[in-house]
């Protein structure tokens, strides 16, 4: 008899202890881990993203970590495809699945789903690729065609413009109209979500300690290496922890100011994450870290 795969998600603000808890639970319920972290997906961004150690990665099989180079594009639809692949792997190996990380927007999209795209032929792809050679012209055309869709798209965002053109060429309607006619379908249903509650003072202390530890581990050297190899252009190079080090290297900040800015910006991110997690999910259990392990194990036992 085929084992039923149990799935759950652990979310919480940065530095709240999500990864450690996920590994503890995974070892007890025979699970794989899928990371939902917009930085851990990248190779070589190790210290900045506070990835699990090699020992932790070896203890439990992780997905969504070290998949792309920092100059490669990553988006929510790529994550959806990754989730589907991971679920197949879990089913093949009879493993449960824990989804964990700070980029809860990806989790929300899993629950809400994405709209299906029209059938796109190779001929359509070739035509769109030819048009994309002139990004300025594409941007002007799409802005005129669908100002609502293009409102938040940058004039150099070739990935999103390509998607918009493919939809238009394949369906002969604007992307906004296509998505109106083809609403998203949930990809995962009845997912138990566990959110780590943590008071502001404790989180502030944990963030300060993490920032100091990053420096000791070689944060500046890592950012120097990344800048030399990939330049400052990739989106990943605009992340918290990288930006402040680059300002330090440009002699705009002292080392002390750099660390303080990393802590401040990380606290601001944590506040946004807490607001998102509190307001965007329905089937969610909120509890302090020390209580969540028991609650999760009980939910698995009773499922």
| Mean local confidence (pLDDT), 49-65 | 94
C-alpha to C-alpha distance for 241 and 15, rounded to whole angstroms:
14
Question: Does 267 have pLDDT greater than 70?
Answer: yes
C-alpha to C-alpha distance for 42 and 44, rounded to whole angstroms:
6
| Mean local confidence (pLDDT), 130-148 | 96
Here the tokens at position 192 are 């138990």
Residue 106: closest CA among 280, 283, 260, 290: 280
Residue 114: per-residue pLDDT: 85
Residue 236: closest CA among 89, 39, 31, 96: 39
C-alpha to C-alpha distance for 237 and 73, rounded to whole angstroms:
12
Beta bridge partners of 33: 62, 98
Q: Which residue has the higher pLDDT, 46 or 2?
A: 46
* Structure confidence by residue, pLDDT tens digits, 153-172: 989 888 889 999 999 999 99
- Between the two ends of the chain, the Cα-to-Cα distance in Å is 18
* Structure confidence by residue, pLDDT tens digits, 2-16: 678 999 999 999 999
Q: Looking at the chain, list the stretches that DSSP marks H as alpha helix, in order from N- to C-terminal side.
A: 18-29, 54-59, 76-93, 104-112, 122-131, 135-145, 147-150, 158-171, 175-181, 200-217, 219-230, 242-249, 255-279, 289-302
Confidence of residue 60 (pLDDT cuts 50, 70, 90): very high
Beta bridge partners of 97: 7, 32
C-alpha to C-alpha distance for 182 and 122, rounded to whole angstroms:
22
| Mean local confidence (pLDDT), 26-50 | 96
Give the SS3 label for residue 199. Answer: coil
Q: Is the model's pTM score more than 0.95?
A: no
Residue 159: per-residue pLDDT: 85
Which domains does the chain show, CATH number per domain? Answer: 7-113+186-302 (3.40.50.300), 122-181 (1.10.20)
Residue 127: closest CA among 176, 170, 77, 178: 170
Contacts of 1 (CB under 8 A, 6+ apart): none
Residue 76: per-residue pLDDT: 87
Question: Does 1 have pLDDT greater than 60?
Answer: no
Distance of CA 216 to the CA centre of its chain: 26
């Amino acid at each position: 008899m085929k084992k039923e795969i149990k799935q759950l998600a652990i979310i919480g603000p940065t530095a709240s202890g999500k990864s450690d808890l996920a590994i503890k639970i995974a070892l007890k319920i025979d699970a794989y881990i899928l990371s939902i972290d917009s930085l851990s997906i990248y190779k070589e961004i190790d210290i900045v993203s506070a990835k699990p150690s090699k020992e932790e990665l070896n203890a439990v099989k992780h997905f969504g970590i070290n998949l792309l180079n920092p100059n490669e594009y990553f988006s929510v639809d790529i994550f959806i495809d990754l989730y589907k692949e991971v679920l197949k792997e879990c089913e093949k190996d009879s493993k449960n699945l824990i989804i964990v990380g700070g980029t809860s927007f990806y989790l929300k999209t899993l629950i809400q789903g994405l709209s299906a795209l029209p059938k796109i032929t190779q001929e359509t792809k070739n035509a769109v690729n030819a048009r994309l050679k002139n990004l300025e012209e594409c941007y002007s055309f799409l802005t005129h065609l669908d100002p609502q869709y293009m409102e938040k798209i940058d004039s150099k965002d070739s990935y999103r413009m390509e998607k918009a053109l493919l939809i238009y060429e394949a369906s002969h309607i604007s992307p906004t109209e296509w998505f109106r006619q083809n609403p998203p379908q949930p990809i995962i249903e009845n997912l138990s979500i566990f959110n780590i509650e943590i008071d502001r003072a404790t989180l502030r202390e944990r963030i300060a300690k993490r920032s100091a530890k990053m420096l000791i581990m070689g944060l500046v050297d890592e950012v120097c290496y990344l800048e030399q190899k990939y330049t400052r252009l990739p989106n990943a190079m605009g992340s918290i922890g990288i930006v402040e080090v680059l300002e330090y290297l440009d002699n705009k900040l002292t080392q002390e100011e750099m660390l303080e800015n990393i802590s401040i910006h990380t606290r601001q991110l944590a506040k946004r994450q807490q607001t998102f997690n509190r307001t965007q999910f329905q089937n969610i259990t909120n509890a302090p870290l020390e209580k969540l392990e028991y609650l999760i194990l009980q939910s698995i036992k009773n499922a």
